A and B are shown apart, each in its own frame.
Chain A
Amino acid sequence: MIHSLFLISNAGDLFLEKHWKSVISRSVCDYFFEAREKAVEPDNVPPVIRTPHHYLINIYREKIFFVSVIQTEVPPLFVIEFLHRVAETFQDYFGECSETTIKDNVVIVYELLEEMLDNGFPLATESNILKELIRPPTILRSMVNTITGSSNVGETLPTGQLSTIPWRRAGVKYTNNEAYFDVVEEIDAILDKSGTTVFAEIQGVIDACVKLSGMPDLTLSFMNPRLLDDVSFHPCVRYKRWESERVIAFIPPDGNFQLMSYHISAQNLVAIPVYVKQNISFFETGSSGRLDITVGPKQTMGKTLECLVVTVHMPKVVLSANLSATQGTYNYDPVTKILVWDIGKLNPQKLPNLKGSLSLQSGAPKPEENPSLNIDLKIQQLAISGLKVNRLDVYGEKYKPFKGVKYVTKAGKFQFHSPYWTIYGPRRVAAWQPPSSARSPSRRLSAPGTPHLSPLGVEVSGEEPLPLGGAVWEEPDHH
């Protein structure tokens, strides 16, 4: 299946190669470099590149291209998933997956790759098994190793691989037994200039940190499991229990892992916690423009918005920005044309505002489009979908563990933009009216310089506010 793997930095430095079958010359990567150059942005490199004798399947992660060489038919997703698993394993082992850490730990990386694939077919990809085979480096151990020459390779052989629950290592022992869960939700949304939601969905994950002795069997239940209908699970979860009882029953891997991910896309379920009043306009003459942005809270369930950052990708002709912010700091990078306004915590009493003028390249035509805004934010102790964990039961072991759950909401790909086909200039031929009469008035074309702002009230849904999370469980449990 997977013949070879090449790791290539964003700068084009091929810094690691590994072959699972006969050696394939690194010159095969020339085809990749060609595609890389053509794509301009690293993200735009096609995931599958065809060469006369091979296929190159690649992913781009943490500024590294993982380029695998394939010779025969294989589902591309199989390879892509595996490459991501490799990157995640590096992250797990070294804290981060970067060119530097991989180069620093090249021997461990090599040992890992050796165990993860056999003859190009995945062998051991579970973190728990790998950690039994090859111990992750710690500062202390690497110091001791340098002095004594002892090894990173586990003395014991991986018994976990032989068991029916291959994801958990055997003989786990802790003095403090604890199980923590992080419910992390990201809102992906596109809102138009008036604040109307064009599209919104929630991508949620439950990350677990479980340090429990022995062979515990956990059952996690929710107050409102009906919210979740599009879910995917770690292999340890028993699918059938979820289907029949809507509880998550599992024997956990030891340590950190992602228990499940879910997707909530019903528009009315996605609360939008923030609104933006924006007016960015460019004058027909004088090579200048004006910018005025205000950010305010919308459906926040009474929580505070934190780590608020507004990012604007300016048109190429914008040379500089002379602005003043009532809160936070702003920075305009004239090379990348990115304006970043770091606001921090949002105070609902005094809404932050960024205002001022933009100077444009003289003589250049006025930009045709208004730039869209990207928002970053964080809300602690809230899962914006309203998802709430009910309880965690431990079976099969006698101890009473510490248990906790944390909720956090973040902005994912959160964009404000104006989806209009705005046409300027004297040679306008005919106004293009979309055929539907259902078009809302706020979505009509607005002339340059006269921004159309619709009232930005809170969208009131008929529902009661969803229950909020954030509490740590009562202790101890009873079962």
Chain B
Amino acid sequence: HDDLKEMLDSNKDSLKLEAMKRIVAMIARGKNASDLFPAVVKNVACKNIEVKKLVYVYLVRYAEEQQDLALLSISTFQRGLKDPNQLIRASALRVLSSIRVTIIVPIMMLAIKEAASDMSPYVRKTAAHAIPKLHSLDPEQKDQLIEVIEKLLADKTTLVAGSVVMAFEEVCPDRIDLIHKNYRKLCNLLIDVEEWGQVVIINMLTRYARTQFLNPNVNVSITHMYEDEKAEVTTLEKRKPYVMDPDHRLLLRNTKPLLQSRNAAVVMAVAQLYFHLAPKAEVGIIAKALGMFEPYLKSFYIRSTDPTQIKILKLEVLTNLANEANISTILREFQTYIKSMDKDFVAASIQAIGRCATNIGEVRDTCLNGLVQLLSNRDELVVAESVVVIKKLLQMQPEQHSDIIKHMAKLIDNIQVPMARASILWLIGEYCEHVPKIAPDVLRKMAKSFTNEEDIVKLQIINLAAKLYLTNSKQTKLLTQYVLNLAKYDQNYDIRDRARFIRQLIVPTDKSGALNKYAKKLFLALKPAPVLESPFKDRDHFQLGSLSHLLNAKAAGYQELPDWPESAPDPSVRNVEVKDSVCAERTVLTGPEGAGVLLLQTTRGSSNILFHVLLLHSHSEQSSGAENRKRGRKAVKNQKSASESESESESSESEDESEEESEEESESDTDVRKKKVGLDWNRILANYVCIINFDTFDMNKITSVFSQTIAPSGLIKMYELLHRITGEGLAVEYCFSRQPFSPDPNMVAVQIQFTNNTNSETKNLHIEDPRLQSGMRIREFAEIGLQPSESVTVVIGIDFCDSTQAANFQLCTHTRKFFVSVQPPVGELMTPAFLTENDFKKEQGKLMGMNEILEKLTLGEKCVNEHVIVERVTATANLSRVPCGSDKECRFAGKTVSSGCLVLVTVTTKEGGGAQLTVNCEKMVIGTMLVKDILQALSQ
């Protein structure tokens, strides 16, 4: 491999690439390329991305064999873990965790833990993938890994859900308690998870449900069983009637649409879930998806081109579906199968006919006749299989079928298949009394050919001889002795043994013991008819669709499907505390006279909803400014009290309010104050966003009806979302509240205000069908309703991915749909960042060159002082001011909301109204657009 080594050592990427390609081709063919390890590993930090990827492939393949050398590459990945680009972080973790070298276990553990709290869901997904890798490398890490799993299970993104459940299944499938708090979330996310994750989640939830819910079919069967017994019925009545747990129903409901997945594994997963969890009446819905059960009988007709295993399965289904009504059709179908070239299948078909005959009494004779006809088939295998099946059928009613036995006796001359010959001999021996004339003759023939027979046939000849000796010793005594003598010298010791045993048993001698008397009873006892069983029976204790179920043997890692519990465990374990993550908060502003504020903050803990209600009754004559201010104060107060003590009772809070109110009225109305409070008001309002998660908040609980709303004061620009004419009376405006969107820090908070200008109620107002650019996400508000002339403000979160592309969606009411779009000015895509002067300079130094945009401008007439400049810039963009020594310079800093890129703005004023604007930002598009907007704002 010297040429490859040379190429890898060269400076040209093209040579390196060529070498790597040849090496990977070697690996693919299974050739050993491990001696190239030192030459390859050197290129792990190569700039060429394809070379790099191929080196990774090589590394993962051989690291286990060359542990010491592999360690050389670790630092590259450690560096990658800190990269600002999420995809590079993810790929570094992926490769690092795939290198199976025990010495790096602590590094992997650390990397996984860090990645599990990464901002990017993609990196968190990679962390979930890495968990089972580390677990298989070092099972000792289990406890720590379970902690990571617990953390990731709480993740709310669809990207992570499938992967973390997979990790859960591999590392700690028995820790069902970790699922409780995430159960509802998993059910709700399921439809949006990628298909492979769906399969894993559904299988896991099936197991979960079997431990947590009651058997939905249990009462049905009990009622049925004790129908007639009055006493039992009364005890049953005393029992609590079965009511399905809403969480059980949630699972069934949310999995049902997945029956239409293109992925057969998903369909199967849902089918098995219904099979194991649904009430009997509902299991039928899976039938169509799987093409099962009687109406679909014909779907199971077999084609000559089907593979053998499919044929056998279809045959099994047809046999199980057979009943009095359809047996004639099925039998006709089976007849065609017997002509197939596929001998295994023919044998299975004959057995299937036998099973139909035993299961359905009225066709037994028909089947038997048909099988007898097969005895004259040219194909010996067909005949042999038929003999075996007929033998079993005859055992059920031998007395009626002596003619068939006779017919079979004749066949012994022609049939060569040992199993069939043995079966015929057994039949004749067993029912020798039905064919008294033929049986001795058959024995005579067999005695003649004894030495040439197969062992199983020989054993049956001995059997036949013994039975005839016992029933008809006059005719067969000599023949039997002859056969036993032949057997005595047989090569097979089983046969010699059997002969000796039987001779002792049946031939009375002086020494023979007490058993002799019972010989007839022993040999000619009435034997129970065999049951023709499905080869597929007895596997129902395995979870349907599992590998273990298919093989009917427990595979490694199979998790038993637990039995339903006798009584349901506490359902409240699934209740979720939403205190710090998603809260249901609603702000309704209004009052009978237009002066009330209702601020509802609801937090759902363990099934109790705390309402912090702040209700202000004030006078209709108040000025809007005062009102705003007052509301602001109230809200501040409320927020404070809510965070300080949640358990505080409502009454004490309303006491607080009245105090506050009286205080308020005595306050003076200075301009400065007014402005300040107005600003506060906006901030607070946005904090009390209305994201009412329908899951955690029951709208019916709010019964108060309010009639009027006052918009927040005008410092923030309002945009129109829907004009009241286009909206047929529904007017919608929005603004960027510039508040962090608490449920998701990567989203921009958009405050939307709805006003119902019609005379009728607008119901079910919600967002549907968001049409977003790739990567963009929207967090909708929960459905609301509007009384005539009511206004309601809600806040939604949109991740614009740091682009000014509009977010399009539909606003739907109970009657209409409106297409609307929210387009963010570039300045709203950022959030203030607080930097010191030094930090600012340091960061600015890193963002030079292409990341810096310089523009000269002339300040507008009104931009007379620093104060105005600051006001204009901060109005244009959501930035914070950075302290600055020079009075000629104003500095601002912010970070983009979605990816957290720094945005630095500097305005340097010059003599005579000139100025220079500098924007430093890694995102050049954002920088360019921001420059344009600020220029405009300052030159006005």
Q: Which residues of A contact B (CB under 8 A)?
A: 1, 14-19, 21-23, 26, 39, 41, 43-48, 50, 55, 70-78, 80-82, 106-107, 109-111, 114, 118-119, 121-123, 125, 148-153, 155, 157-166, 168-171, 190, 198-199, 201, 214-215, 217, 229-235, 239-240, 242-243, 249, 251, 258, 260-261, 263, 265, 267, 313, 365, 368-369, 372, 395-396, 413, 415, 417-421, 423, 425, 427-430, 432-436, 438-439, 443
- Residues of B contacting A395 in the complex (Cβ-Cβ under 8 angstroms): 771, 819
Q: Are B28 and A16 in contact (CB under 8 A)?
A: yes
Of the stretches B177-185, B369-377, B842-850, the one at the interface is B369-377
| Residues from 279 to 312 in B contacting A, C-beta threshold 8 Å | 288-289, 291, 296, 298-299, 301, 303-305, 307-309
Q: Are A201 and B88 in contact (CB under 8 A)?
A: no
| Residues from 119 to 166 in B contacting A, C-beta threshold 8 Å | 120-122, 126, 129-130, 132-133, 136, 158-159, 163, 166
- Residues of B contacting A14 in the complex (Cβ-Cβ under 8 angstroms): 30
Q: A55-B555, A152-B50, A231-B260 are in contact. Are A372 and B304 (CB under 8 A)?
A: yes
With both beta carbons as reference points, the residue of chain A lying nearest to B379 in the complex is identified as A368
Q: Are A235 and B551 in contact (CB under 8 A)?
A: no
- B269 interfacial by beta-carbon distance below 8 Å: yes
- B366 interfacial by beta-carbon distance below 8 Å: yes
Assembly CA distance A368 to B373 (angstroms)? 14
Among A19, A233, A430, which residue has its beta carbon within 8 angstroms of that of B260? A233
Q: A72-B557, A75-B545, A434-B366 are in contact. Are A162 and B121 (CB under 8 A)?
A: yes
Assembly CA distance A53 to B557 (angstroms)? 13
Q: Per-residue CB proximity of B375-399 to A under 8 Å, as 1/0?
A: 1101000000000000000000000
Q: Are A427 and B556 in contact (CB under 8 A)?
A: no
- Residues of A contacting B133 in the complex (Cβ-Cβ under 8 angstroms): 119
- Residues of B contacting A418 in the complex (Cβ-Cβ under 8 angstroms): 336
- B866 interfacial by beta-carbon distance below 8 Å: no
Separation in Å of the B504 CB from the closest CB of chain A?
Answer: 41
Q: Are A164 and B192 in contact (CB under 8 A)?
A: yes
- Residues of B contacting A368 in the complex (Cβ-Cβ under 8 angstroms): 339, 378
Separation in Å of the A13 CB from the closest CB of chain B?
Answer: 10
- Residues of A contacting B339 in the complex (Cβ-Cβ under 8 angstroms): 368-369, 421
Assembly CA distance A75 to B48 (angstroms)? 39
- B728 interfacial by beta-carbon distance below 8 Å: no
Q: A70-B547, A232-B261 are in contact. Are A22 and B777 (CB under 8 A)?
A: no
Assembly CA distance A240 to B254 (angstroms)? 11
Most buried by A among B57, B545, B550: B550
Of the stretches B14-22, B424-432, B671-679, B733-741, the one at the interface is B14-22
Q: Are B24 and A107 in contact (CB under 8 A)?
A: yes
- B911 interfacial by beta-carbon distance below 8 Å: no
Q: Are A73 and B547 in contact (CB under 8 A)?
A: yes
- B451 interfacial by beta-carbon distance below 8 Å: no
Assembly CA distance A390 to B375 (angstroms)? 59
- Residues of A contacting B27 in the complex (Cβ-Cβ under 8 angstroms): 110
- Residues of B contacting A55 in the complex (Cβ-Cβ under 8 angstroms): 547, 551, 555
Q: Are A48 and B547 in contact (CB under 8 A)?
A: yes
- Residues of B contacting A151 in the complex (Cβ-Cβ under 8 angstroms): 17, 48-51
With both beta carbons as reference points, the residue of chain B lying nearest to A413 in the complex is identified as B303
Separation in Å of the A368 CB from the closest CB of chain B?
Answer: 6
- Residues of A contacting B132 in the complex (Cβ-Cβ under 8 angstroms): 119
Q: Are A107 and B288 in contact (CB under 8 A)?
A: no
With both beta carbons as reference points, the residue of chain B lying nearest to A313 in the complex is identified as B304
Separation in Å of the B162 CB from the closest CB of chain A?
Answer: 9
Q: Are A73 and B556 in contact (CB under 8 A)?
A: yes
Separation in Å of the B899 CB from the closest CB of chain A?
Answer: 11
Assembly CA distance A423 to B382 (angstroms)? 13
Q: Are A432 and B366 in contact (CB under 8 A)?
A: yes
Assembly CA distance A190 to B302 (angstroms)? 10
Q: Are A242 and B376 in contact (CB under 8 A)?
A: no
Of the stretches B324-332, B717-725, B786-794, the one at the interface is B324-332
Q: Are A121 and B129 in contact (CB under 8 A)?
A: yes
Separation in Å of the A270 CB from the closest CB of chain B?
Answer: 11
Q: A153-B49, A171-B774, A368-B339 are in contact. Are A261 and B262 (CB under 8 A)?
A: yes
With both beta carbons as reference points, the residue of chain A lying nearest to B330 in the complex is identified as A434
Among A48, A107, A125, A215, which residue has its beta carbon within 8 angstroms of that of B25? A107
- Residues of B contacting A417 in the complex (Cβ-Cβ under 8 angstroms): 304, 336
- Chain B: how many interface residues by the 8 Å CB criterion? 120
Q: Per-residue CB proximity of B85-102 to A under 8 Å, as 1/0?
A: 111100100100110100
Q: Are B54 and A123 in contact (CB under 8 A)?
A: no
| Residues from 801 to 841 in B contacting A, C-beta threshold 8 Å | 808, 819
Provide a sorted-by-A list of 9 A–B residue pairs whose CB atoms are within 8 angstroms: A48-B547, A110-B28, A153-B53, A162-B122, A199-B298, A232-B261, A421-B338, A429-B369, A435-B331
Q: Are B775 and A75 in contact (CB under 8 A)?
A: no
Assembly CA distance A198 to B300 (angstroms)? 12
Q: Per-residue CB proximity of B15-54 to A under 8 Å, as 1/0?
A: 1011001001101111000000000000000001111011
With both beta carbons as reference points, the residue of chain A lying nearest to B311 in the complex is identified as A44
Q: A44-B307, A109-B28, A168-B774 are in contact. Are A73 and B332 (CB under 8 A)?
A: no
- B8 interfacial by beta-carbon distance below 8 Å: no
Separation in Å of the A294 CB from the closest CB of chain B?
Answer: 23
- Residues of B contacting A240 in the complex (Cβ-Cβ under 8 angstroms): 257
Assembly CA distance A439 to B331 (angstroms)? 12
| Residues from 432 to 488 in B contacting A, C-beta threshold 8 Å | none
Separation in Å of the A220 CB from the closest CB of chain B?
Answer: 15
Q: A162-B120, A421-B335 are in contact. Are A75 and B54 (CB under 8 A)?
A: no
- Residues of A contacting B17 in the complex (Cβ-Cβ under 8 angstroms): 149, 151
Separation in Å of the A230 CB from the closest CB of chain B?
Answer: 6
Assembly CA distance A239 to B266 (angstroms)? 14
Q: Are B257 and A439 in contact (CB under 8 A)?
A: no
Assembly CA distance A122 to B196 (angstroms)? 7
Assembly CA distance A152 to B53 (angstroms)? 11
Q: Are B336 and A75 in contact (CB under 8 A)?
A: no
- Residues of A contacting B769 in the complex (Cβ-Cβ under 8 angstroms): 217, 249
Most buried by A among B48, B97, B120, B196: B196
Q: Are A77 and B29 in contact (CB under 8 A)?
A: no
Extra contacts besides A48-B551, A215-B771 (15): CB < 8 Å: A75-B203, A75-B269, A77-B265, A107-B21, A251-B771, A265-B298, A267-B298, A413-B305, A421-B373, A425-B378, A428-B376, A432-B373, A435-B366, A439-B332, A443-B332
Assembly CA distance A163 to B369 (angstroms)? 67
Q: Are B14 and A21 in contact (CB under 8 A)?
A: no
Q: Are B136 and A75 in contact (CB under 8 A)?
A: no
Separation in Å of the B47 CB from the closest CB of chain A?
Answer: 12
